[in-house]
Structure 1
Amino acid sequence: MTKRAFNFCAGPAALPEEVLKQVQAELLDWQGKGLSVMEMSHRGSDFIALAAEAEQDLRDLLHVPNNYKVLFLQGGASQQFAQIPLNLMRDDQKADYIETGIWARKAIEEAARYGAVNVAGSGKVYNFFAVPGQNEWKLSKDAAYVHYTSNETIGGVEFDWIPEVGDVPLVVDMSSDILSRPVDVSKFGVIYAGAQKNIGPSGLVVTIIREDLLGKERSDCPTMLNYKVAADNDSMYNTPPTFSWYLAGLVFKWLKKQGGLEGMKKVNQQKQELLYGYIDSTEFYNNPISQTSRSWMNVPFRLIDERLDKLFLEKAEKNNFLNLKGHRSVGGMRASIYNAVGLEAVQALVAFMKEFEREHG
């Protein structure tokens, strides 16, 4: 039997083993139909029922209100960086963005191609080691929307609060922390999330949009990027990424078995407290992020002696700890501890880190 590694990849990330086994069992013969789910028509009754069930399970997990559409789209979160302004910002409007790291900056740069962008708040003053408090923001009076990134996958910075922006639609890139704990969907105009962290495999992005925001697209918005077109066609204007959608639906069912998002919150809190607790207890490792802004999902850390980085990664891989190298833009290490990375994986990682410190500290 193949031994599963402890996979701390930032994305595409670990998937629940139980889900992968079900996929394996159904790969050649989905529910006795004699074919794979990858081979069936997205227009057929079987896939339409599967898609509807996946949507309902996601609605159940997030308690999505009835006046929101749930869309299963293509292009990942990076395509949403353009899709948001194309659907919500007219030529004569501006949008407010909060800059908290690399992914927020990419969203800002893309939106600026379509209209005026006001960087209303920035973590630059904190070297992007903290989220700027809302008292520091300078919001526009007439913004089409306010956009922020709830969790910076690369920098390891996360909002532990939801901004209050009045009647202006609040838009959030929730790619790397969606489904990790409960969230009040009604506070948002739009939530979008790339799938390859906590939802499923890559190739899919989920967008949850309040219905009154549909039909506000610019005249130059491409048909394929029009949220209303997607909503009117149940996310099937063209052939969707059917396998990713199917697998996401299995993850949603797995999450329900774990006690939903309240259950995941308890486990995720234990995981991040264990890992940060150990890092803070020693001078051999460090995490530079402000304690009030630390990500539950992506934990960057450094060895006090960077000359040991290569050896640490080599030994980690030999011991079945994979993908711990930090992003090339920031260096160091990063452990991504998404929903499918269990408490036992974090316990094993901490034990390995302690042993490495004992040998080389």
Structure 2
Amino acid sequence: MKDRVYNFYAGPGALPLPVLERVHSEFFNYNNTGMSVMELSHRTDEIQHIIDDSGARIKRMMNLSDEFEVIFLQGGGSLQFLMVPMNLSHPGDKIDYIDTGYWAEKAIKAAKSLGRDLEIIAASGDRNHTYVPNSDSIQTRSEAKYLHLCTNNTVVGTQFHNFPKVPIPIVADMSSDFLSKAIDPSPCACIYAHAQKNVGLSGVTAVVIRKSILENSPDDLPELLDYRTHIERKSNYHTPPCFSIYVMWQILRWIEEDIGGVEAMEKINWQKSSALYDFIDATPLFDCPVEVESRSRMNVVFRLPTKSLEEQFIQEAFESGLVGVAGHRTQGGCRVSLYNAVTLDAVKNLIEFMDKFAQKTNY
């Protein structure tokens, strides 16, 4: 559509145009119900089908065994920062965390508030979070109930490309790289991701949970904060965010049926990020501070020589229909998010603009 811009916001992020068109076509009359999906009761067969089929598609694309359940919750990643330690440990239990910056720090703060014996067993703050700790060197405490890490760090542009090999279960906050690449889920007890980056709208969070890990959950959890409640009630314990789940379902269909699954999606994401990183590395005006082996395939951060040049770049990009390229408010600089819905054509247009800007600046 000629009047649409190229959206590089870090979240909520771009949505696939085919999905928007499908949602538009069904907006007033979903599945011949004579109603919008937003009007349907959450107790209808139509809504439960959307919930159930979304979970089935995630299990299929992630190659999850029947050991795992997929549930859809509200509250974003921020609520999961609390629900994970509440469900997977008891007060006083040891839990291990990796600190790779902004979102990991929020998860650590939340877990500490619950009275757990939390230890940060690896961190990257010594070099301003421009890398992730080497997965092979991470050592956990043997009595720890789990190891928590944020796989992709949107603010600083770093990413774990493999799970650490540790003897305890892993809890992975995959909010910004969920279903962007193929993974081996076997080391994980829990994976969670709010949807508004790669798989949908704000308002819904996908949680993949290994059922056996819940056998030792505390018995006195509030029902609403107990994973077992939502598994038993099939993500319909209380009114779920039906429209957000519906849009996520449409995106899951798009990834599986149109793109060809997460393996095909991963190849596209590597093409996009490689093209942009190659250009940045070859152009003196732009500098990516992240160590090469730790660079995120989802969020590319870079700087220009001066703050005034960065502001000029961001403004001229916006005027050229390239929106959302400003860095996180705590970091400054520039950031380009390459989530699943961002097309290779969008990246090519960005690189063309960056090249013209560099030539004009003559730096």
Structure 2 partner of 1:61: 61
1:96-152 per-residue CA deviation (whole Å, 9 max, x = no partner) reads 000111101110110001112100000112221011114543421200111001000
Matched, 1:172 2:172: yes
Residue 2 of structure 1 and its aligned partner are, at CA, apart by 5.6
Q: How large is the Cα RMSD of the aligned pairs?
A: 1.2
Matched, 1:127 2:125: no
Aligned equivalents of 1:111 and 1:322: distance in 2? 35
SS of residue paired to 2:303: strand
Residue 29 of structure 1 and its aligned partner are, at CA, apart by 0.6
Aligned equivalents of 2:275 and 2:2: distance in 1? 28
Q: Is the 8 A contact 1:7 1:13 kept in 2?
A: yes
Aligned equivalents of 2:157 and 2:120: distance in 1? 20
Residue 218 of structure 1 and its aligned partner are, at CA, apart by 3.0
Structure 2 partner of 1:188: 188
Structure 1 partner of 2:205: 205
**1:36-55 residue pairs with structure 2 within 5 A?**
36-55=36-55
**Unpaired runs of at least 5, structure 1:** none
Q: Is the 8 A contact 2:138 2:164 kept in 1?
A: no
1:232-281 per-residue CA deviation (whole Å, 9 max, x = no partner) reads 11111101111011111100110011011111111111111100000000
Residue 187 of structure 1 and its aligned partner are, at CA, apart by 2.0
Matched, 1:258 2:259: yes
Structure 1 partner of 2:323: 322
Residue 295 of structure 1 and its aligned partner are, at CA, apart by 0.2
Matched, 1:229 2:229: yes
Aligned equivalents of 1:2 and 1:32: distance in 2? 31
Matched, 1:89 2:89: yes
Structure 2 partner of 1:347: 348
Q: Is the 8 A contact 2:135 2:162 kept in 1?
A: no
Q: Is the 8 A contact 1:95 1:118 kept in 2?
A: yes
1:169-200 per-residue CA deviation (whole Å, 9 max, x = no partner) reads 11000000011110112221100001000110
Aligned equivalents of 2:106 and 2:9: distance in 1? 21
Structure 2 partner of 1:289: 290
Amino acid at match of 2:94: K
Structure 2 partner of 1:142: 143
Would the alpha carbon gap of residues 134 and 18 (structure 1) be closer, same or farther in structure 2, given more than 3 Å must change? Answer: closer
Residue 219 of structure 1 and its aligned partner are, at CA, apart by 4.7
Q: Is the 8 A contact 1:300 1:334 kept in 2?
A: yes
Aligned equivalents of 1:221 and 1:151: distance in 2? 30
**Structure 1 residues 300-309 or 312-321, which shifts more?**
300-309
Aligned equivalents of 2:240 and 2:140: distance in 1? 37
SS of residue paired to 1:280: helix
Aligned equivalents of 2:189 and 2:50: distance in 1? 27
SS of residue paired to 2:297: coil
Amino acid at match of 1:275: L
SS of residue paired to 2:71: strand
Aligned equivalents of 1:138 and 1:170: distance in 2? 13
Structure 2 partner of 1:31: 31
1:76-107 per-residue CA deviation (whole Å, 9 max, x = no partner) reads 01110000000011113110000111101110
Aligned equivalents of 2:267 and 2:136: distance in 1? 30
Aligned equivalents of 1:69 and 1:143: distance in 2? 23
Consecutive aligned runs of 4 or more in structure 1 exceeding 6 Å deviation: none
Amino acid at match of 1:330: Q
**Unpaired runs of at least 5, structure 2:** none
Matched, 1:337 2:316: no
Aligned equivalents of 2:55 and 2:215: distance in 1? 22
Residue 215 of structure 1 and its aligned partner are, at CA, apart by 4.2
SS of residue paired to 2:10: coil
SS of residue paired to 2:90: coil
SS of residue paired to 1:335: strand
Structure 2 partner of 1:310: 311
Structure 2 partner of 1:117: 118
Q: TM-score w.r.t. structure 1 length?
A: 0.97
Q: TM-score w.r.t. structure 2 length?
A: 0.97
Structure 1 partner of 2:3: 3
SS of residue paired to 1:186: coil
Q: Is the 8 A contact 1:215 1:228 kept in 2?
A: no
Residue 60 of structure 1 and its aligned partner are, at CA, apart by 1.4
**Sequence identity (%):** 39
Residue 220 of structure 1 and its aligned partner are, at CA, apart by 4.9
1:319-360 per-residue CA deviation (whole Å, 9 max, x = no partner) reads 000011100100000000101000000010000000001111
Aligned equivalents of 1:338 and 1:344: distance in 2? 13
1:35-88 per-residue CA deviation (whole Å, 9 max, x = no partner) reads 011111111112112221121111111111111010111100111000000001
SS of residue paired to 2:4: coil
Count residues with an aligned counterpart.
360
